[in-house]
Structure 1
Amino acid sequence: MDFIRVLYQRFSSLLHELTKFGLIGAAAFVLDTGLYNAFLVLFEGPLTSKVLATTISATFAYAGNRFWTFRHREQSGLGREYFLFFLLNGIALLFGLLVIGFTKYTLHLHDLFSLNVANFVGVGLGTLFRYWSYKRWVFLEATEPIPTELPDAEVRQDR
């Protein structure tokens, strides 16, 4: 039992971070998949549908990751983080577009099931890249410890 406790203590922060990242990712995945399918019905273009769905779900994911998953990390500026986040999401989107494009235009599989399987594979590859790249370039390690509680504010009352 001591081994498990020591192991948990050693990796607890990583475990908590991965859990939060996974929950935000799962919610973004549901949003992305739902929008992707809705846009497929509306536009019938799988690549356009994927770009639109990813843009919306990535905006949701940024907010969740910035203010929950990686809130304990350095806050190096909203503009910088937002730009890098979407640049890296654009690279991750390429994984999805390549898999979807290969499925539709090379394998000539045009049915909704095949396009969704291709979307799932692309999202999986993109997720691996995103987790690594967010930690590396977007949500940096804090240079000073970030307090877990807000400091008590002194209450001033002017009479």
Structure 2
Amino acid sequence: MREVAKFGAVGGLGVLVNLGVFNLIRNTTDLQVVRASVIATVVAIATNYIGFRYFAYRDRAKSGRTRELALFAVFSGIGLVIESGVLYTATYGFGWDGPVASNVFKFIGIGTATVFRFWSYRTWVFRALPAPVEATEPMPDPAPLPKPERRPEPLPEPAPANN
């Protein structure tokens, strides 16, 4: 649950960045809706990487930073395609292009992509460190076995006297 909460905190900030940049671009430029969405998502991805690496998954393996960044970029890109696909379908497939509809479908796309991102980031990008081996106390020596009772050997019989 703690991991989900941290992922949610970083992701929540990412959603705010994503929607904020999306609406800023939509209201100040003539860019098409999906292009504005892609730019906003890329900005949010950069914000999220910092949050995930240094907050949500800071206890995870830190070796192979190049590999980590490459995998993060690949899985974030797949998430971007999922997110943009929902918005594209709503805008160009159904003609739902108003400001409210764009934000609703942008949000639905973010939610859909988030499920994929959560799974892929925790499975492939920010892998858990192996569980530490707990030191166990050595097993006590078994109770000593009783020593067998030693019986004295009988004395040899005296040799008969030959007189």
* TM-score, length of structure 2 as denominator length: 0.77
- The 2-side partners of 1:79 and 1:103 are apart by 36
Secondary structure of 2:128's counterpart equals coil
Moved over 6 A (4+): none
Structure 1: unaligned runs, 5 residues or longer: 1-14, 146-159
Larger Rg: 2
Cα RMSD for the two superposed structures:
1.2
- Residue 112 of structure 1: aligned partner: 99
More helix per residue: 1
Shift of 1:97: 1.1
User: Who is 1:68 aligned against?
Assistant: 55
Structure 1 143/49 Cα, relative in aligned 2: closer, same or farther at 3 Å? same
Q: Does structure 1 residue 32 correspond to structure 2 residue 18?
A: yes
What is the CA–CA distance in structure 2 between the aligned matches of 1:105 and 1:55, rounded to whole Å? 22
Question: Contact 1:74–1:143 (CA<8 Å) still a contact in 2?
Answer: no
Shift in Å at residue 74 of structure 1? 1.1
Q: Distance in 2 between matches of 1:56 and 1:95?
A: 16
Conserved in 2, the CA contact under 8 Å of 1:75 and 1:140?
A: no
Q: Within the alignment, does 1:21 sit opposite 2:28 as a pair?
A: no
Residue segments in structure 2 that go unaligned for 5+ positions in a row: 133-163
* % same residue: 31
> For residues 70 and 135 of structure 1, what CA distance do their matches in structure 2 show?
9
- TM-score, normalised by the number of residues in structure 1: 0.78
